[in-house]
Every structure is written in structure tokens, then in C-alpha cells.
Structure 1
Amino acid sequence: MTISSPTLSGAGLEALNERVRFDLACLNLPPNNWVPTHTADDGQHVHDVVIVGGGQCGLVAAFALLSGGIRNIRIFDRNPAGREGPWVNYARMETLRSPKTLPGPSYGHASLTFRAWYEAQFGVDAWEALDKIPRPMWMDYLRWYREVLALPVENEVNVEHVTPEGELLKLELSGPGAERQSVLTRKLVMATGREGTGAPKIPDFVDALPRTAWAHTADDIDFNALEGKRVLVVGVGASAIDNAAEALEHGASNVRFLIRRAQMPTINKMMGIGSFGFTHGYASLPDAWRWRLMHYSFITQTPPPRGSTLRVSQHENAYFHFECGIEAVRMEGSEVVVTTRQGEVRGDFLILGTGFQIDPLARTELAGYADRILLWRDCYQPPEELAHEELGKFPYVGRDFAFQEREPGTAPWLGNIHCFNYGASVSLGKVSGDIPGISEGASWLAGAIAAQFYQQDIAAHWQTLQDYDAPELQGDEWTASPLPSCPDQTLQQKAPR
């Protein structure tokens, strides 16, 4: 049975905007700020939370904090307004993999879902006909989400470096949108997406190539320049497939996938255990179970979406070469020559679909102290059959997404940096990057930060409690009456015989 809002379907965004405002008003959101104001010794204003990243995770994290009455926040994003996150930068799939019905960053508000946004513009029939969410449309939805909630994203601001300053964090800023060179904050939330605790994974074999001969799928690739070119793609994950499709659609003479595996992965294993229980139970599992689950996910790999794969294979000049692990790469004139386990292959341009690596040392914001962050390899040694170097590099974060010290007492301020991105996934599951669980993750994050602030400021809250003197009663609501006088005999009792 189709269920839709009879008043909002096809009614336009302004009607939905009014509904959002009404829903928030009914829930008294956002409430007034309750966190005491802090200033530095030199009188500089101290922010309670700074969020780095204005994409979907940064937006829902900000909304969660504001909904909890933590209003002294700022959100910085390095991209121009409307281009936050990967969706219109380096993401090149036609549609999202996630089902259209997921609540995503709605944070429990039906009027903030993609479905509500879509139906308000196009109606219920269009919603029922929609299969997958077009990627650019998801960005349009996020732009609306930011606007209707009036989230204070400051664009074209780069956070260059983070350093401790007493109990605070000092953020050094750059970029056209930066109003000053630095700001102070009590908490930093790194809502920096897939590359948030690392960088694109660049294999050593490209060291022998000029930079003009190759690109990573996260790069800004000039696909028009690939018309008539022979393109070699390393890997067969979603990003490799999507970039290959772009090259083919821009007139590449052929595209060859160089795939280390013997077979194409076909089953998205993590889809088989997604549930309310998994979302909320995973983070409490013993290390051995968390490692086992993520190890299995890594080794089985996630297949590219069916639609994306068909987008490539419909081209007769697309070739999937399995068991073609790369042994060496060289240039011969203007040709890229790749030696694989199956032999040599030549092309004009190489695209790396090698994903991202987790490596806190690769983050310039953390330069100088990233080696003090506790990693999974510092906490857990798996049995030999479950060894996995990449998993060991993930930060071992707490339930509040905060970094922990490798050596206790050497860098306690790391607990004020919250890893609300892909880097937290081994510790906490899929709640800080993927669409299905980001509202739950944002709730955990905001609740943990609120609890820590309250504990840290307990003396101020105690004083507020004592100073509070707004009377609920004015003194005219009652009249005092004396106790009526009674004869002595009525007050005395004879002792029983």
C-alpha cells in the first residue's frame, strides 16, 4: 500500500519548509544554549565545537549538536558552497547504491528525509517510479537540508593544522572564506568522509610515471582529454567502474580493467547483517568479534553496483582482465606499459581505482603528533589467519568517536578530537560515513560531547542551580490558616484498663 502525505505530495518545497519549521517548533528545537561561555586567557572567544567538513556527516552532526542545545559551533568546509563532499566533485556514479527509502541524515524527522523532499516537488507517483537516487539529486537534497535547517557552514575555509593550547585546541586556518588565521575550540569533529583519517591510496608502481600519465579516482580528471585514448583502470571496485564508465562515455577508444582477483565479487556481505541490532550492538562487541567482522568484509570485498557495472559492459570496447596483478609499470615514449601476471598491456592513460588508505600520519592537520594516536594494531593482535595490515592502521576510537592516546598521559588532548568519518568504522561500525547509520552516529556523538561538557562545567552548573531564583508562585495563591484550638479532653486519651 502506498502511504504519502496528502498535504505535501507535489506541493513544492516551500510547503515542506513550513512543515519542517512546524515540526521543529513542536519539539522545541533547537533549544537554548546551556553550555557556559568560555574565553581564553587573552580574552579570545572559545568555540564549543568546530566541525571540519560540511558534507552529509558534518551537517547531521551539526544538527544533532544544535538539537541538544550546543549552539556555540562552527562548520568549516574547504569547498565552495554547494560542492561539499564527493557528490559533485569526484563521485562519478549515476545513482547512489543505498536504497531510496533510508532515512539518512533526517535525525528522526520524517519531514527531513529525501523522500519528503522528493515527493514535495515531484509527487507520490514519481516517488513510486523512482528506482535509485541520482547522485546529483542527492547533492541537491543536501543543499536543501543545509538551507532549511540554517546550518552555519563556512565555505572555502581550510583547517591547515591543529595544535593543543592548554585544554583547548587551536586551529590554523587558510582560504578565501577564513575570517582570521586561527580559532580556539574545546572540541573538534573531523567529519571528513572517506579520506578523513588518511588519503587516497597511491601504489608505488606509479612512481615511474609522469604525473600527466595517471590519476586517482579521487582526482579532478579531464575526461574530455581521454577521447580516442586507451585507458587502463587498476581495480574493479565502485570507483574504478564509475570512472571507467566516464572514460567510455567521453569517447575512450577502449578501457581495460586490470584486476588482481580471479573473480568479480558479487555479494555485498555487509548488507546481510544490517539491522538495528548491528548498528547499536557492534561497538560493544569484544575486539576479536569486531575485527573478525570487518576482516571478513575486507577480504570478501564489496562488489560494484549492478547498474554501474552494466553502464560499463554495454560498451563493446570495455574489457575485464582478471588475475592481472600488476608487477611493474614503465613509460615507453608516450605509452604506459604495464606488466601483469598475465603479460604486458599498453595504454595512453592509467586510472587508479585503489581507494583510500587509513593513515593518520597522512593528515596534515595532525602533523607532529599523529603517531601518538592509538591504532587497532596497538590494541589487538589477531590470529595469523586473520592478519590484515590495513585494518591495523585504523584508529582505535571510543564510543564518543574520540582519538585515544597510544601512551596514556602523553597527549590527553587527543580525546577532544572526534573521528566522525570512515576511520571510526572498525571501532564503531557503519555510523560515521555511510547513509544508513549516520543519524545514529550523530546522536552518539552529540550525546557524548554534551555529557563531557556538563561534567567539565559542573561547578558552573552548580552555581547556576544555587543562583536560580525565578519563582513559580507569587505568594497570592494561598492564605495561611492557624490550627484551630481544641478542648483538652479531645486531645487526651484514657489509658486502657
Structure 2
Amino acid sequence: MMDNTLPSQNAGLAALEAQLAEDLSLLELPAKSWVPRRQHEGEEVRDVVVIGAGMCGLTATAKLVLSGIDNIVTYDAAPEGQEGPWVTFARMETLRSPKILTGPALGLPRLTFRAWFVAQWGQAAWDALDKIPKNQWMDYLVWYRKALDLPVKNDVRMTSLEQEGDLIAVTVEGAETGRILTRRLVLATGRSGLGGTYVPEMIRTIDPRFWAHSADDIDFDALKGKRIAVIGAGASAMDNAATALEAGAGSVDMLIRRKEMPRINKMTGIGSYGVVQGMHRLPDLWKWKFFDYTARTQTPPPRNSTLRVSRHENARFFLDCGLESMAVEQNELVIETTQGEMRFDFLIAATGFVNDFDGRAEFANFAPFIRRWKDGRETPEMGRPRASLSDAPDLGPDFEFREREPGSCPMLAHIHCFNDAAMLTHGKVSGDIPAVSAGAERLVQGIAASLFAEDVETHFKNLQAYDTPELQGDEWVDATPSLHEGASV
């Protein structure tokens, strides 16, 4: 990547990196390497492989390295600097989180966005900053990776997983091709988690020339002068609508099924240390109640994203507008809605993501064995089933997958789901900025404990073999002989 920073900014970053290095030294971090090295039939075995180098993947990788688990590698399919959504399908202008959140800093003040920002632009600029521009957040994550010298390899995609004895064989292709053996696997795969984008069947039957999902690579310049429909009322719906309008779309109509726009972000209202540390310990019924309620009330789009749309005279909001059917007629997209027929040139479906293990070829060898929330967890007290929750994986305390049938796929206990799909089991600690450090701490504590237990015989042998004396034998004089001499007299 080209370095566009000014000399003063570079000097500020250099000073910050020196301070960070001193802080790490004072805390004796990274901890000494402690996991015994392994080989399998002459092949090196990694302790952990992390898939995904977005924010969650970087935070997990950093925590592993700082904890002395350093025989690891992190892969990302994207080119360097394009990991995660920030400069790809995230089309908002700024982050939605307050600038003061420490995010992936892992309790290290010099690793925060604020420290990074102030080092380059000063305190006055920080005080004047409202929300963090999303591209600037990506710049910070690039620096985060560099400052900690994290072992990330780009342009590498995982294509399959297999069990190899008590190990996991990860097949990759791209800038690195082949098979990697690992003891633990972390899936830090972001919003798409373990599935992908959700598109209603009604839309999927339409020629793809006439529609795209909001997470797709959309050529907005090609939409100039066109009549655009956007399905949804969430943040991504607003951001895509605004991007189309700013690119010169002839008109943008927001087709919103709800009779009223959601206005209150419920989970933000109760955010606390207690929520972060307590949600995953709640009984299942309470977890379900929290997330079912927030799903029913829905999260509103940010005010600035909504204003970004409504400031355009050629934008319209259709509430209580459900879709009934759609078809292509004479190069037009004809949508029958509860408010009548509407005609468009293109549709953007801001319809979210789905946990669809069976839809991903790389998960084929273990997907049938994964326990989900709908596998014996739902009860009448939980109310009607909700697919977005029911299909979520039912994870263990360390984000590890659990088997639907005990003994059917032991490999699952060594695969950790550190992405948005973990929310129902663990709370919002593996996808959003506020609590990602707490999530990484929970994840790595579990991995460290399991690796230690797995190697307990080796650690005990090391205990027995350790023979460096603390005392040299010249620290005292043995009075026993003189005592015996005095007794004989």
C-alpha cells in the first residue's frame, strides 16, 4: 500500500510504536512461547490457524501471540488492506460506534484508535472528531497488524477441512497452496459467518442483471439515471441507497415492510460490562428472550445514514410496503407490492445474512454434525421459532462447535466460531467493535487451557526434568556436625 502520510504523522506513529513496545516490555508481552511443537508424519503442525484477518481475526491473532501461542498463522482471502467490510461492502460514511470505544486494543492504551489518531493529528483534532470515518478505521487496523507484527497471509482462501487423527487438515489455495495441519482452528469469518448473504426466493428467481445484494460488489456508476428499489430499512439499506443517490441514480425508492421505522437501538441502551461478561452465562431461555426481543423490535438505521438518503429529493420511503411478486417485463423489473405495482431498473436487497452451513463447500465435511439451537434447545416458553436464531450454532464456552450427536465428529471441539454466528450463545463479542477484546480474551483463554490439558504429560515431564538450581549450596553453613560434636562432649 502507498504511504500517503506526512513526515509529522510518520514521526508521531514512530513515537507511538516506541511507547507501545515499552508498554509490552513492562508487561512482559508477548509471553514466552510455551506450547510444545508437534509434527505429524514429518509435517509441521500449527497450534492454531485463524481464518479471516478482519477486526475479529486480528484481535484473536494478537491475543494468541501475546499469550505465548505463537506457532500460528492467519489467512485472509482478500488483498492486504481490504480485509473485512470497511472498504468493500460497508458503504456508510462513518462507523456507528462512538469514537471512545477501545475496540480491539486488548487493554493496551497505546493500541487504541484514539492513541493512533492523536499521534498523527493531535488532541484538538480528536476533540473535534465526531464519528470515525470507515476508511480511517481500516487504516488503523492496517497499522494494528503492522505494530504487532501479526502473522497474516493475504490472498489465501480456505477450500476444505478434514480430520487427520486428532488434527485438522486445512486446505488452502491462492498465494499459498496446499494443506496445513493444525491443532485448533478459529473461524473469524465476519458477518457472513458460516453461511452467506440472505436473498428471498422471490428475488433469486430474477435474472441477476436486475438485482444485487447489499454486500455484493455493485457498480454504482452504472446505476446513474436508473430507477432503483432498495429492500429493507436497516443501516445497510440506507447506506446503499445513499451511495446510489450520490452516484447519480435517477430515483431511489425504499420498500419497507414495517408500518413504522424502528427508532430505538435497544441493545445499545443496556450496554455494560455486565452484559458483556454475563450474557453467555445466562440460561438459554434468557439468551433467547434478549435476542428474540431485539430481532422483533429491530435495530434502527443511524440517523446520519437516514438523513443521507432523505436529503435527496429523488428518494422516497414506502412504509407498510410488502413484496408480493416480481418479474421482468420488457427490460423492466416489475414488483407487485401491497401498495400496488412499481417498476424499476435495478433492485438492491439489503436483506442480511444467514447461517447456512450446508451452502459452503469448505464446511462440507463437518456441517452435518454441527449442533444448532433448533436441535433440542427451543421450548414453548421461547415463543415461535425464528430462523435467524434457530439456525445459529449452539456453541460451547470457548466458542467451540458442539456435536449434534455425541461422538459423531470429535473434530468440532477444536473448531472455534469467532464470528457473528456466535452471538446467540456468547452475546455480541465476536462481530462488533465494543466488546471484541473481551471476546478474544474468552476465546484464547479457552484455547490455551485446552492446549495445556492436551499436553499435560509433556508439561509434567518438563516439570520433572527441570534441574536449574535456585540455590548453589554456598548460601548457608550446615550446623549439624558441630551440634553432634557438642553432644558427644
TM-score of the superposed pair, with normalisation by structure 2: 0.96
Pairwise CA distance, 1:485: 5.6
Contact 1:189 1:420 in 2 (8 A): yes
Pairwise CA distance, 1:259: 0.7
Q: Does 1:469 pair with 2:467?
A: yes
Amino acid at match of 2:239: D
What is the aligned length? 480
What does residue 174 of structure 1 align with? 173
Match of 1:387 among 382, 385, 389: 385
Amino acid at match of 1:254: S
Unaligned runs of at least 5 residues, structure 2? 1-7
Amino acid at match of 1:83: Q
Contact 2:366 2:412 in 1 (8 A): no
What's the secondary structure of 1:185's corresponding residue?
strand
Q: Does 1:343 pair with 2:340?
A: yes
Structure 2 distance, partners of 1:198, 1:51, is 17
What does residue 202 of structure 1 align with? 199
Contact 2:76 2:155 in 1 (8 A): yes
Q: Deviations over 1:196-241 (max 9, x none)?
A: 1211001111233211111001100000000000000011111111
Distance change >3 Å, CA 347–CA 459, structure 1 → 2: same
Structure 1 distance, partners of 2:238, 2:9, is 36
Q: Deviations over 1:421-452 (max 9, x none)?
A: 00100000011111011100100111100000
Q: Does 1:30 pair with 2:25?
A: no
Distance change >3 Å, CA 487–CA 174, structure 1 → 2: closer
Pairwise CA distance, 1:379: 3.1
Structure 1 distance, partners of 2:205, 2:63, is 47
Match of 2:407 among 406, 409, 412: 409
Pairwise CA distance, 1:330: 0.3
Aligned positions of 1:422-437 closer than 5 A? 422-437=420-435
Structure 2 distance, partners of 1:142, 1:379, is 40
- Structure number with bigger Rg: 1
What's the secondary structure of 1:171's corresponding residue?
strand
Unaligned runs of at least 5 residues, structure 1? 1-7, 491-497
TM-score of the superposed pair, with normalisation by structure 1: 0.94
Distance change >3 Å, CA 254–CA 403, structure 1 → 2: same
Pairwise CA distance, 1:387: 2.7
Q: Does 1:367 pair with 2:367?
A: no
Pairwise CA distance, 1:483: 3.7
Structure 2 distance, partners of 1:210, 1:378, is 36
Structure 1 distance, partners of 2:197, 2:263, is 24
Pairwise CA distance, 1:369: 2.8
Structure 1 distance, partners of 2:106, 2:488, is 70
Contact 1:295 1:386 in 2 (8 A): no
Amino acid at match of 1:275: S
Structure 1 distance, partners of 2:121, 2:275, is 34
Q: Does 1:226 pair with 2:202?
A: no
What does residue 101 of structure 1 align with? 100
Contact 1:174 1:181 in 2 (8 A): yes
Q: Does 1:188 pair with 2:185?
A: yes
What does residue 146 of structure 1 align with? 145
Pairwise CA distance, 1:165: 1.0
Contact 2:279 2:427 in 1 (8 A): yes
Structure 2 distance, partners of 1:462, 1:368, is 35
Structure 1 distance, partners of 2:486, 2:412, is 76
Structure 2 distance, partners of 1:166, 1:55, is 30
Q: Does 1:250 pair with 2:247?
A: yes
What does residue 397 of structure 2 align with? 399
What's the secondary structure of 1:195's corresponding residue?
coil
Pairwise CA distance, 1:274: 0.9
What does residue 450 of structure 1 align with? 448
Pairwise CA distance, 1:333: 1.3
* Farther off after superposition, 474-483 or 259-268: 474-483
Pairwise CA distance, 1:17: 0.7
